[in-house]
Amino acid sequence: MKIRTLIVDDEPLARERLTELLRPEPELELIGECADGVTAVAQIRQLAPDLVFLDVQMPELDGFGVLTQLEEERRPAVVFVTAYDHYALKAFEVHAVDYLLKPFDRERFQTALQRALQRLRGHDSADLTRRLSALLSDLKPEARPTDRIAVKGDGRVVLVKLDDLDWVEAADNYVVLHAGNESHMLRETLTNLEGRLPAAKFLRISRSAIINVERIKELQPLFHGEYVVVLRNGAKVTLSRGYRDKLPQLGLA
């Protein structure tokens, strides 16, 4: 019986690459692909794949979120596909969970695939479930410190250090990271990103903006309880009156 396999990745080119690598494999049956985490949860529940190639970084619901939404008995074997930080990669290795670090070549793909197949042939689904559960426990947001954000695009991954980040603005289902003279567009909601940033350093001051409090130069009061927050690089971001409760964190009562 062939191993039913599902691809989950928000990037079309990444899905095409995985499809190209998976289709020739005689032991696999490619049963579908998903472009977001919410669809992935529904498809895993409906199709019950044996193996999933799962992107870690996706907007709204990331790869870890997909697995936490699934009951333990419904979790398939997983090969994570990631551009994630070193802490997460170390956790994958500690828990013997297979991963592909983007960008990867055919040889690295084959290594991860063969490891996954060997574990599936062993028919120890309980062991697979235990290792995934332990990984998810280690990678809960509060236990997953990071000092950078990985931005994927144009066939490369740019790592933006949090120390270099001045502010972030929302752009529909994307956010724009402003770091010095550079700007990077990341496919993620502002609310999701807010949950990943250290609260002691980054403060949301409107529905569409998060600022690095260490970059503040001055605050200029406007009408109706709003403020203009002037950053050291000259950028001006409005603190809206709906976020006036954040003023004490900026040194204002």
- CATH code for the domain of 65: 3.40.50.2300
Read off the pLDDT of residues 17-63 as tens digits, 9 standing for 90 and up.
Answer: 999 999 999 999 999 999 988 899 999 999 999 999 999 888 778 88
Averaged pLDDT of the chain:
84
Q: Which comes out higher in pLDDT, residue 19 or 122? A: 19
Number of domains, the chain: 2
CATH at residue 229: 2.40.50.1020
Read off the pLDDT of residues 28-37 as tens digits, 9 standing for 90 and up.
Answer: 999 999 998 8
For residue 243, pLDDT beyond 80 = yes
User: Of 142-156, 167-181, 219-233, which range is least confident?
Assistant: 142-156
Residue appearing with tokens 């669809």: 39
Domain with 194 in it:
148-250
For residue 123, pLDDT beyond 80 = no
Among residues 143, 172, 190, which one ends one of the domains?
143
Give the Cα separation of 153 and 151 in Å (integer): 7
Are 158 and 135 members of one domain? no
Q: What percent of the chain has pLDDT over 70?
A: 88
For residue 204, pLDDT beyond 80 = yes
Among residues 83, 109, 143, which one ends one of the domains?
143
Are 25 and 116 members of one domain? yes
Give the Cα separation of 89 and 57 in Å (integer): 13
Are 127 and 17 members of one domain? yes
- Whether the model clears a pTM of 0.75, i.e. scores above it, the answer is no
Name the band, by pLDDT with cuts 50, 70 and 90, for residue 143: very low
Are 64 and 164 members of one domain? no
**What would the 3-class secondary structure string for 14-74 be?**
HHHHHHHHHCCCCCEEEEEEECCHHHHHHHHHHHCCCEEEEECCCCCCCHHHHHHHCCHHH
CA 157 vs CA 82, 101, 103: distances in Å = 10, 11, 8
Are 106 and 164 members of one domain? no
